[in-house]
Structure 1
Amino acid sequence: MRGAIVFSGSSHPALVDGICDRLGSKRGSVSLGKFANGETSVSIHTSIREKHVFIVQSGSEKINDAVMELLIMVSACKGGSAKSITAVMPYFPYSRQSKKKQHRGAITARMVANLLHIAGVDHVVTIDLHASQMQGFFKCPVDNLLAEPLLARWIRVNIPNWKEAVVVSKNPGGTKRVTSLADALKLSFGIVTTDRRRGGTIHMSESALFDQLKMDGAYGTPGVLEAALDTDAHITPATSSSYNHRGENGKPKIQTRFTNPLQRRANAVESSGSPLAKSVRVDSVPDAEIPPETLPDSDPPGQDADEQDESAEEYTDERARDVIHGRLVQGHIVDESHPSPAMSATSNSTWRHNRAASETEDDCIPDHMISSFVSTASSVRRLENSEHAHALGGTIDAAASSEDEEDDLNNPGLETMVTLVGNVRNRPVILLDDMIDKSTSWIAAAETVVKRGGATQVYCMATHGLFGGDCLAEMNACECIDKIIVTNSFPIPEYKQAQARDKLVVIGVDNLLAEAIRRNHHGESISQLFMHYD
């Protein structure tokens, strides 16, 4: 290209060679090094006066050196009277730190954008920003290219039955990216979500947390549960049933075991067996009588037990079959019989002892009242004790990130519930995200769709293959993962590629970046780069 010159940083020289080969030019001559004290040294040996300069520098394992080297190169070109300077950054550094996660957290991605502006960058070209809203951080035009057309073409060529595939997001934050690819290929999509709160079958009144709430008041100070109940809410033994369907006057009659009106009303709703028992407020039920339509008749006229069963089956929702739950312990799917690590041996024995003791007593508290008390108390305690409270209030669950998800899955003392929404049975699954850094969430999602959903094949696909630590080796060892597909936007060292020769597939973005550079230099539109071609 006449009037343009491409320089390469030290982060990804192989990518720059591919770009220059596509453009039919040689990269500019520049010397990059370090002084004895670790300072970066840059020296440009080519005339750049009144030329369009493109500096290609992606993120790498030495991310801070790459950023500082790019800033020095931009400043050197600015001092060399370059006509314009475009920073080509396939993977934008610190893109995951685009929002505050704590009160004293930093929005590092915005700081990097400001540094580029101060250094003298006139244009930025990148691929698949972690959050597209980050384009507002820059004071110059930004071309956020998409790797989606390249990934879609690989799917059509390399997956034999790709038309039956399902694109699945491994967390709720990636649903927009997943639906975009699914719409482009006209495929179905699904979502895998994880929740640290285990949804088991044990009632709240039988949990270790409830035992702790009752023990808080054992030494003279009222516990959380006692403080929630006023002094009149004493529990009295009851020898009769909770309610009779019909009284002497033909109206439903309640025989309660509680002396407090609030508890008496709650017990009436709970004992009625009505579907509204969990949603009706306890203070909306009358003291002694409730309307006949609230309580079902023991023998409804003109309808026997068989007809009742048939009518109940008529209202089953077929869509519930596409929602599958599972248990995750240390990031792996386990059976329901697997012991939960969330309850220690001490709390487990205490729970069993208290449960056996409570079965011999007549006094009890409705489970829905206990759930309310325990939920409130646990929320308060998590707010007080959590070291990762949300910056705007609430708990960490209100703004969970991929890092938080990885920490929860790796915690050996925490059991996680995973939910798969979507039908993947006997179909290939494409797990899609913008980057692969840690392996735990990918392995958990792959095991979920295979062992719980019945998927035939799993393709883990992302734009940026960061592969921190032993991520690539762990994903290669997972039997549920068939292929790992990434682009070469982020340099993958040779020793890491050797860890997954059979599963790793690297798609080149050289042509995409070369065409973006050519079109920017000649002032052409880049809209064609966002389109899909068969």
Structure 2
Amino acid sequence: MGLELGKIKIKRFADGEIYVQLQESVRGCDVYLVQPTCPPANENLMELLIMIDACRRASAKNITAVIPYFGYARADRKTQGRESIAAKLVANLITEAGANRVLACDLHSGQSMGYFDIPVDHVYGQPVILDYLASKTICSDDLVVVSPDVGGVARARAFAKKLSDAPLAIVDKRRHGHNVAEVMNLIGDVKGKVAVMVDDMIDTAGTIAKGAALLHQEGAREVYACSTHAVFRYF
């Protein structure tokens, strides 16, 4: 956009509290706060909320929270008793802090948009991934799009349509706990094909790694893993 980043002072107190002070006037301005809630998720989320509050109290005209990776989106429904729907809670916090609009990229589930009581612009990383695959000049007859789990079938099917309606395969996995995945079976044919696994995020990479191993066992010639959000951390 040809603009310089706005000046802002952010520091931590000794007890870990976050302090935010804008270093220039935003009165009557359209403010865009770019802050993904990637690891450390809680720190980044709290920082975003305080920044929104600071802008609101400084009389900004409109505040748009640009959140490339929207954390807590996986907690979007109750699958067991006594669980929190944290995605709705975080949406409420951002709204109550004073944001007028949210822009997010490849939300984990579409219903997360409905958790906000303010407008949400949902953009997709798909065109970037498609351009990358096009640069590899893979024959369309050799491609098969793979969903790493049953929950991602709709996403993978939409992606396959953009790749000349490529065939679809599904990895059936059984999860024994959070961040623990075990691949059990493959639905579809990948023998001699270039398998493109599509997911919205890679966290521990357990699903992707085990899925890739299964695809090679089933005869895939090559395996590509495509993901918008690489939220894993190196240790």
The SS at the match of 1:143 is strand
1:407, distance to aligned residue in structure 2 (A): 2.8
2:186 counterpart residue number: 420
Q: C-alpha separation between the residues in 2 aligned to 1:41 and 1:459?
A: 42
1:469, distance to aligned residue in structure 2 (A): 5.8
Contact kept in structure 2, 1:167 and 1:189, CA below 8 Å: yes
Q: C-alpha separation between the residues in 1 aligned to 2:198 and 2:34?
A: 26
2:44 counterpart residue number: 66
Q: C-alpha separation between the residues in 2 aligned to 1:55 and 1:437?
A: 24
1:55, distance to aligned residue in structure 2 (A): 0.3
Contact kept in structure 1, 2:126 and 2:159, CA below 8 Å: yes
1:446, distance to aligned residue in structure 2 (A): 1.0
2:208 counterpart residue number: 442
1:183, distance to aligned residue in structure 2 (A): 0.5
Q: C-alpha separation between the residues in 1 aligned to 2:176 and 2:229?
A: 16
2:226 counterpart residue number: 461
Deviations 1:25-50 (A, max 9, x none): 10100001111221100010111111
Identity of aligned residues (%): 35
Contact kept in structure 2, 1:170 and 1:193, CA below 8 Å: yes
2:138 counterpart residue number: 160
Match of 2:170 among 191, 206, 209: 191
Contact kept in structure 2, 1:75 and 1:120, CA below 8 Å: yes
Q: C-alpha separation between the residues in 2 aligned to 1:101 and 1:468?
A: 27
1:128, distance to aligned residue in structure 2 (A): 0.6
AA aligned opposite 1:407: V
Evaluate the alpha carbon distance shift between residue 31 and residue 163 of structure 1 in structure 2; reply closer, same or farther with a 3 A threshold.
Answer: farther
Q: C-alpha separation between the residues in 2 aligned to 1:194 and 1:39?
A: 41
1:405, distance to aligned residue in structure 2 (A): 7.4
2:35 counterpart residue number: 57
1:102, distance to aligned residue in structure 2 (A): 2.7
1:384 counterpart residue number: none
Contact kept in structure 2, 1:58 and 1:92, CA below 8 Å: yes
Contact kept in structure 2, 1:29 and 1:45, CA below 8 Å: yes
Contact kept in structure 2, 1:155 and 1:162, CA below 8 Å: no
The SS at the match of 2:152 is helix
The SS at the match of 2:104 is strand
AA aligned opposite 1:72: I
Q: C-alpha separation between the residues in 1 aligned to 2:221 and 2:206?
A: 20
1:130, distance to aligned residue in structure 2 (A): 0.5
Q: C-alpha separation between the residues in 2 aligned to 1:129 and 1:93?
A: 9
1:60, distance to aligned residue in structure 2 (A): 2.6
More helix by share: 1
Q: Does the alignment pair 1:407 with 2:180?
A: yes
AA aligned opposite 1:465: A
Contact kept in structure 2, 1:405 and 1:441, CA below 8 Å: no
Q: C-alpha separation between the residues in 1 aligned to 2:163 and 2:206?
A: 28
Q: How does 1:4-403 map to 2 (within 5 A)?
A: 23-186=1-164, 187-195=166-174
Contact kept in structure 1, 2:181 and 2:207, CA below 8 Å: no
The SS at the match of 2:4 is coil
* Higher RCO, 1 vs 2 (CA within 8 Å, ≥6 residues apart): 1
More strand by share: 2
The SS at the match of 2:51 is helix
AA aligned opposite 1:148: Q
1:240 counterpart residue number: none
The SS at the match of 1:419 is strand
Contact kept in structure 1, 2:95 and 2:117, CA below 8 Å: yes
AA aligned opposite 2:189: N
Q: C-alpha separation between the residues in 2 aligned to 1:105 and 1:118?
A: 22
The SS at the match of 1:55 is strand
Q: C-alpha separation between the residues in 1 aligned to 2:55 and 2:173?
A: 48
Q: C-alpha separation between the residues in 1 aligned to 2:144 and 2:121?
A: 29
Q: C-alpha separation between the residues in 2 aligned to 1:114 and 1:80?
A: 21
1:24, distance to aligned residue in structure 2 (A): 0.6
Q: C-alpha separation between the residues in 1 aligned to 2:43 and 2:234?
A: 19
Q: C-alpha separation between the residues in 1 aligned to 2:150 and 2:9?
A: 45
Q: C-alpha separation between the residues in 2 aligned to 1:439 and 1:152?
A: 21
1:420, distance to aligned residue in structure 2 (A): 1.4
Deviations 1:281-319 (A, max 9, x none): xxxxxxxxxxxxxxxxxxxxxxxxxxxxxxxxxxxxxxx
Structure 2 residue runs without a partner (length 5+) = none
1:307 counterpart residue number: none
Q: C-alpha separation between the residues in 2 aligned to 1:405 and 1:110?
A: 20
AA aligned opposite 1:51: C
Q: Which moved more, 1:121-130 or 1:438-447?
A: 438-447
1:424, distance to aligned residue in structure 2 (A): 1.1
Deviations 1:225-259 (A, max 9, x none): xxxxxxxxxxxxxxxxxxxxxxxxxxxxxxxxxxx
1:338 counterpart residue number: none
Evaluate the alpha carbon distance shift between residue 457 and residue 35 of structure 1 in structure 2; reply closer, same or farther with a 3 A threshold.
Answer: same
Evaluate the alpha carbon distance shift between residue 84 and residue 408 of structure 1 in structure 2; reply closer, same or farther with a 3 A threshold.
Answer: closer
1:189, distance to aligned residue in structure 2 (A): 1.2
Evaluate the alpha carbon distance shift between residue 159 and residue 468 of structure 1 in structure 2; reply closer, same or farther with a 3 A threshold.
Answer: farther
Evaluate the alpha carbon distance shift between residue 74 and residue 430 of structure 1 in structure 2; reply closer, same or farther with a 3 A threshold.
Answer: same
The SS at the match of 2:158 is helix
1:447, distance to aligned residue in structure 2 (A): 1.5
